[in-house]
Amino acid sequence: MRTLFWDNDSHELRMIDQRRLPAALEVVSLHTCTETAEAIRNMTVRGAPAIGASAAFGLALAAQESRAQSTAQFLLDLETAAALLKASRLTAVNLAWAVDRVLRVVHAATGSVDDLRTLVLAEAQRIADEDVAINKRMGEHGSVLIDDGDTLLHHCNTGALAVVDWGTALGVVRTAHEQGKRVHVLVDETRPRLQGSRLTAWELGHYGISYEIICDNMAGYFLRSGQVQKVLFGADRITANGDVANKIGTYMLALAAHDNGVPVYSVAPTSSIDLSLADGSLIPIEERDPDEVLGIQFHGERVAPEGAKARNPAFDVTPNRLITAIVTENGIVRPPFDVNLRENVGAGLVPAQGDHIIPNGDKDRPFKE
Ligand code: MRU
């Protein structure tokens, strides 16, 4: 089963509720664009490529909901839906990328309102299917960087749950594991939402990949004592100069890795690359509810005084000087990123040899139901 998929029988978007894992594997159904925007906002679905694909299907739901009699009105309805979806999360550029891609296709088309509805859904489905193929290609490219016996330190969740299927940084680990390389993953918890301990650990258990959970603030210890060969994470937005916005804590992790000469790899599809921004200082950083920081409990008790205030920026920016290489579906990009990233993104205009799309609900099943 994919992390999210369109149900052709019931005409609804179905997705794993990531807020429930690892306690329960539950699939929820979304019937409206508003429900989809809320699912993205409240992190029922999260991970940059996964929210991009979800938003594209959110537009398909908006198209289904529209009562427009004219194509002009239909396009207006879609624009309203697009604005709602784009506002649901700010930092990951994949969301706006996917929404704009669907809008572009519909604006360029002619035909009846029904024809346009069909087009919206087809484009959303294409984005989802392509995402799987892209992840597999990143896995192949990135696995070259992994050696037999490596211990890898991984941040946040970048596995199948963060995409439609397979994963970005964790997809690289999965590919290396499938190639027979023995790897061990130090999974950092990733406070405050704990995507590492809740989601990455759960996925690695399913794949039979060896792992141990560490607290985020243990990373420096493991890096300095020579127990980590590579640091891997994804990206929510990469700017033209190679600065990487990713889950909060990435910057500190990259600093500690750099100080200890441990290579730092960011794995992300080209849909996470925003060439319109010169550097990371221009990336909007989402600040979330302080309750995510304060609401956690230790042995059933509060961890902060009643009425305490907290800050909760959800992402930080790692400057390009701390990044050893960026892996995309088009290959491995090394510095100078301002030149090489642009070239790598451009390379995708030519379809890759042997690229194939894996249809919905196929043999590639990451999780048993
Ligand atoms: O807030 P999240 O869980 O959506 O943040 C996700 C991450 O930071 C991931 O590491 C990132 O999206 C890239 S990996 C697909």
Closest CA to 177 of 250, 232, 258, 256: 232
pLDDT digits (tens, 9 = 90+) for 55-102: 999 999 999 999 999 999 999 999 999 999 999 999 999 999 999 999
Ligand 1 close to Cβ of residue 246 (< 6 A): yes
Q: CA 312, 18, 30: angle at the middle one, nearest 5?
A: 110
4-134 classified as CATH 1.20.120.420: yes
Ligand 1 close to Cβ of residue 195 (< 6 A): yes
* Residues known to be catalytic: 236
pLDDT at 357: 36
Q: How far apart are CA 325 and CA 138, in angstroms?
A: 13
Ligand 1 close to Cβ of residue 161 (< 6 A): no
- Determine if the peptide bond prior to 313 is cis (ω within 30°): no
Q: Which two tokens stand for residue 136?
A: 């597999």
Which among 46, 91, 286 is the best mutation to test ligand 1's pocket, defined by most ligand atoms within 8 Å of the CB? Answer: 46
Q: Which two tokens stand for residue 19?
A: 């807020």
**CB-based contact 156:247 (threshold 8 Å):** yes
β-bridge pairing 151-154 and 315-318: unpaired
Closest CA to 27 of 15, 44, 42: 15
| CA 56 to centroid of ligand 1, rounded, Å | 18
H helices then E strands: how many in the chain? 12, 16
Q: How far apart are CA 91 and CA 48, in angstroms?
A: 9
| CA 247 to centroid of ligand 1, rounded, Å | 6
Residue ranges covered by each domain of the chain: 4-134, 139-347
Q: Which two tokens stand for residue 145?
A: 């960087």
Fold agreement between 4-134 and 139-347: no
Q: How far apart are CA 345 and CA 329, in angstroms?
A: 9
Closest CA to 201 of 211, 215, 214: 211
| Pick among 3.40.50.10470, 3.40.50.720, 1.10.10.10, 3.40.50.300: CATH of 139-347 | 3.40.50.10470
| CA 194 to centroid of ligand 1, rounded, Å | 11
Residue 351 has pLDDT above 80, yes or no: no
pLDDT at 349: 58
Quote the percentage of the chain above a pLDDT of 70. Answer: 94
Closest CA to 277 of 312, 236, 328: 236
Ligand 1 close to Cβ of residue 49 (< 6 A): yes
- Determine if the peptide bond prior to 290 is cis (ω within 30°): no
pLDDT digits (tens, 9 = 90+) for 185-242: 999 999 999 999 999 999 999 999 999 999 999 999 999 999 999 999 999 999 999 9
